[in-house]
Structure 1
Amino acid sequence: MLSRHQDPIVAIATAPGRGAVGIVRVSGRGLDRLVQALCGKALAPRVASYGPLRDADGGAIDHGLALHFPAPHSYTGEDVLELQAHGGPVVLQLLLARCLAAAAEIDPATGQPRLPGLRLAQPGEFTERAFLNDKIDLAQAEAIADLIDASTEAAARSASRSLAGEFSREVGELREALIHLRMLVEATLDFPEEEIDFLQKADAQGQLDRLQLRLGQVMQRTRQGALLREGIKVVIAGQPNAGKSSLLNALAGAELAIVTPIAGTTRDVVQQTIQIEGVPLHVIDTAGLREGEGIDEVERIGIARAWGQIEGADAVLLLHDLTRIGQPEYDAAEREIAATLESRLPARVPVIDVWNKADAGQALAPLATAGLEPLAGHAPHEQLRLSAKTGAGLDLLRKRLLELAGWQGGGEGLYIARERHVQALRQVGEHLELSALHLAQQAQSLDLLAEELRLAQNALNQITGAFSSDDLLGVIFSSFCIGK
């Protein structure tokens, strides 16, 4: 454990600004003397005590609740003191400053500082200590941040399940099965004359098959959980006045983007996160795509940003105006956009051709009418007909966006997950596939089999932090808020 993890820490644990209640939290070892200085008395463990929270002269900074959680029965596993006062920023800053000053003061009874080394906590340091003191594992620690940041009800409920340890239990079951298989293989290496019979009698192949099947089930739920957390980025693109801003407003159910008949009204990126069945979709409205004269510098920058968003999208809604299909100038511009998409859009990104303004009574024109051919190396465009004005066809579009995201429904019972968890499980799967190849070769590759199983366990351990580099921990906990 690093030396900084031995320091006592303090922070304001509630969000900045005014509120009914604010909390100052202290964590460390041996807080009794600090408690006496701040509260004027000892506190019963885990019992809220109301009274003055004292300054250096014994006067009251505020009256509030004080709670003392002796180690190890606390959030961090260390002694924890929580001061709950009125939630004004000045009051909380005064309490924070008093904690730091009181910790440095010499205690008359001992002749020593009350709490040597007390310092301001770094972002996420309280939760980091909970992890280091085995109160939670790494996946549970991440679930705390995910619960705070959840953008949908489904994501919040799933984060709560991860925090309760459901995801960690799934990973733990995989680890136990993997360790048991490793034990069998390692044992055979010590008795080479019996290794093949030993593995066959222990059903090593069957154990590996069941392990791969179980891994596939966990990966499927993990991908769904990651989708609940991350969502997908959907970019609405197309020519000016095709109805992009109207479609964003219709999907969001609010007037977020300005809509006018004037070409080039949208000059910059407008983004809104919506939820469909609890899945967050980050929908981005972009400037109309066009070339030629009559484009000022501001609109040109907006168009460049639009292409940047398109290149980084998870899905593109390519909007067409049914009322203008067949007009030579409009069709020519459509062909230019299609050609640029072919050169700049990654092949993995799906494109949905959305034929807007169906309320105008126009028939759905075939792709050939506008000169739109499937992009080389891309799947053929899907076609949907709708009206952003009346809402007709929006439900079908929402359903298709969920399908493109890979959502399979049934959010109840899912746990939240992160992309790094998905990647770690994918690595486990790759090592198990190689393990199966080596097991098939029997005696010739048992040492390689043992190594692949070891690497699979290492990848699995990255999820819960059974062992992990300090760099990984730093990245994870630095994203937390101070006081958590």
Structure 2
Amino acid sequence: MTKSQAAPAWSDTIVALSTPPGIGALGVVRLSGPQAIAIADTLMPGKKIASKPSHTLHVGWLTYNGYAIDEVVISLFRNPKSFTGEDVIEISCHGSPYILQQCINACIALGARLAKPGEFTQRAFLNGKMDLAQAEAVADIIASQTAAAQQAALHQMRGGFSHELAQLREQLIQFSALIELELDFATEDVEFADRTALQQLLVSINTVVQQLMNSFKLGNVIKEGVSVAIIGKPNAGKSTLLNALLNENRAIVSEIAGTTRDTIEEVLNIDGILFRLIDTAGIRQSGDVIESIGVEKSLEKLRKADVVLYLFDVHGYNENELKEALTLLKDNARQFVLIGNKADHAAGITEARLGAYTYVPISAKSHINLDLLKTNLVQTVMQGKTNQESTIVTNARHFAALQEVHNSLTEIQQGLSQHIPGDLIALDIRRCLHFLGEITGTITNEDQLDFIFSKFCIGK
């Protein structure tokens, strides 16, 4: 079903609180639908809001059945120049939960109904104000906790991702039309579509699709954050490093080996990326049952973490133990950074070598080279991909659809090389176009939309 087929003629008006619940200086109640202006007119008698132009503000008392609810500001947005593409009213009240609820109750009494989660944005999508990828970016912006997440969502909401996909889809549609035309002249054995040009286009599209798929790993990091396990032998300085990075005494530090028995997790924002730091128990053989459980948890965190920081004492290291640690890291860690702690030299030293091993020398206790470690950590995760204007896939639904697009493109390429009939190639192209359309919502279904928008907050 296409978006135009799915879009209903909305006959009802919805209302919801669009600011966070709780006490605040201000709260905003939003109305959208054909009765929105009439309801505002009734609630603010004497202002004649129905006769006012769009994009205007009106100050007055909000009343219902002769009862004054609050002195408010009403913002008027006439269709189609509104967020939803419908008539929209936004009522700014004082942020008392009681006042806001009274306002919502009055709107419902006058014919509105309470909005479902994400229904305002869903109406914006169905009314053609944005495509589905842009609508999902709205939720990502609301949920963003870092500058990187905000920039990725803004780029998508401005249509960067959609524009790339639309261009690819348009080019493929042109070839699809020519191949479909060939089917009408099947008995005459003619070819309207240049197979060589189609192969070149498929390679070009697949390159872009693969780049977008490859960006999902980075996109997931930006959106969800990076889990970083701090691993090492007892007394290597793991808890001291955690405290130094957080600039607070979060973990207990002592000279007694095995002080940390369980994992401790904290969040640190470095250059707009959220790092979930996990301090773990020292890895060693132990006869202590509790400590052994902690060591096993440390190994589990090592295997699951996005990045492992392995600490060792530059003065008390054992080369064989370091080799064993490197083998453990190479076999189990996704990415790791080797850190030589207790290197109390002048600040500003760069990465050093310890025989065959490259490491970052720091002093967690003296806070030496922590900035170098942070830079190294960001570089390990970002791998040079710092262009905020490039398209980065952050949505698992988009990634799954791109995988299907990639599979379809591969099948089309194989079909062309094997000279299969045009009707079979046309089927594969239709499948590819279907999954490209699923991302932007050009092709979608009601159940899919309900699922996507159900994850939004009520007032959005």
Q: Does 1:46 align with 2:40?
A: no
Compare 279-288 and 193-202 and name the one that shifted more.
193-202
Q: 2:307 aligns with which of 309, 312, 315?
A: 315
- Partners of 1:201 and 1:417 in 2: CA distance: 31
- Partners of 1:469 and 1:305 in 2: CA distance: 44
Distance change in 2, residues 1:8/1:307 (3 Å): farther
Displacement after TM superposition at 1:290 (Å) = 4.4
Corresponding residue for residue 413 of structure 1? 389
Compare 68-77 and 197-206 and name the one that shifted more.
197-206
Checking the alignment, whether the CA contact within 8 Å between 2:80 and 2:86 is kept in structure 1 is: yes
Displacement after TM superposition at 1:140 (Å) = 0.9
Corresponding residue for residue 372 of structure 1? none
Corresponding residue for residue 22 of structure 1? 27
- Partners of 1:338 and 1:223 in 2: CA distance: 24
Q: Does 1:141 align with 2:149?
A: no
Displacement after TM superposition at 1:14 (Å) = 0.6
Question: Identity over the aligned pairs, expressed in percent?
Answer: 38
Compare 384-393 and 474-483 and name the one that shifted more.
384-393
SS of corresponding position for 1:50: strand
Corresponding residue for residue 229 of structure 1? 223
- Partners of 2:445 and 2:301 in 1: CA distance: 34
- Partners of 1:311 and 1:259 in 2: CA distance: 25
Q: Deviations over 1:183-220 (max 9, x none)?
A: 22222333346667533378323333333344455556
- Partners of 2:31 and 2:421 in 1: CA distance: 55
Q: What does 1:115-264 correspond to in 2, within 5 Å?
A: 115=111, 118-192=112-186, 197-200=191-194, 203-216=197-210, 218-219=212-213, 224-264=218-258
Distance change in 2, residues 1:425/1:390 (3 Å): farther
Corresponding residue for residue 447 of structure 1? 423
Distance change in 2, residues 1:403/1:79 (3 Å): same
Displacement after TM superposition at 1:287 (Å) = 3.3
Distance change in 2, residues 1:356/1:206 (3 Å): same
- Partners of 1:214 and 1:244 in 2: CA distance: 42
Distance change in 2, residues 1:30/1:227 (3 Å): same
Corresponding residue for residue 352 of structure 1? 337
Checking the alignment, whether the CA contact within 8 Å between 1:271 and 1:283 is kept in structure 2 is: yes
Checking the alignment, whether the CA contact within 8 Å between 2:408 and 2:428 is kept in structure 1 is: yes
- Partners of 2:241 and 2:311 in 1: CA distance: 9
Checking the alignment, whether the CA contact within 8 Å between 2:340 and 2:362 is kept in structure 1 is: yes
Q: What does 1:331-370 correspond to in 2, within 5 Å?
A: 331=321, 345=332, 349-359=334-344
Q: Does 1:88 align with 2:112?
A: no
Compare 25-34 and 126-135 and name the one that shifted more.
25-34
SS of corresponding position for 1:198: coil
Checking the alignment, whether the CA contact within 8 Å between 2:339 and 2:361 is kept in structure 1 is: yes
- Partners of 1:451 and 1:140 in 2: CA distance: 28
Unaligned runs of 5+ in 1: 104-114, 368-380
TM-score w.r.t. the length of structure 1 is 0.79
Displacement after TM superposition at 1:131 (Å) = 1.7
Checking the alignment, whether the CA contact within 8 Å between 1:222 and 1:415 is kept in structure 2 is: no
SS of corresponding position for 2:192: helix
Query: Which residue identity does 2:455 align to in structure 1?
Result: S
Displacement after TM superposition at 1:316 (Å) = 1.9
Displacement after TM superposition at 1:148 (Å) = 1.7
Q: 1:429 aligns with which of 388, 392, 406?
A: 406
Compare 143-152 and 404-413 and name the one that shifted more.
404-413
Query: Which residue identity does 2:92 align to in structure 1?
Result: Q
Query: Which residue identity does 2:452 align to in structure 1?
Result: I
Displacement after TM superposition at 1:360 (Å) = 8.2
Checking the alignment, whether the CA contact within 8 Å between 1:230 and 1:418 is kept in structure 2 is: no
Checking the alignment, whether the CA contact within 8 Å between 1:155 and 1:416 is kept in structure 2 is: no
Corresponding residue for residue 434 of structure 2? 458
Q: Does 1:8 align with 2:8?
A: no
Corresponding residue for residue 449 of structure 2? 473
Unaligned runs of 5+ in 2: 1-5, 347-351
Checking the alignment, whether the CA contact within 8 Å between 1:177 and 1:211 is kept in structure 2 is: no
Query: Which residue identity does 2:344 align to in structure 1?
Result: D
SS of corresponding position for 2:344: helix
Over the residues paired in the alignment, what is the CA RMSD in angstroms? 3.6
Displacement after TM superposition at 1:412 (Å) = 3.5
TM-score w.r.t. the length of structure 2 is 0.83
Displacement after TM superposition at 1:174 (Å) = 1.2
How many residue pairs are counted as aligned between the two chains?
445
Checking the alignment, whether the CA contact within 8 Å between 1:26 and 1:81 is kept in structure 2 is: yes
Q: Deviations over 1:293-322 (max 9, x none)?
A: 3454xx666555444433322222222233
Distance change in 2, residues 1:305/1:168 (3 Å): same
Distance change in 2, residues 1:437/1:414 (3 Å): same
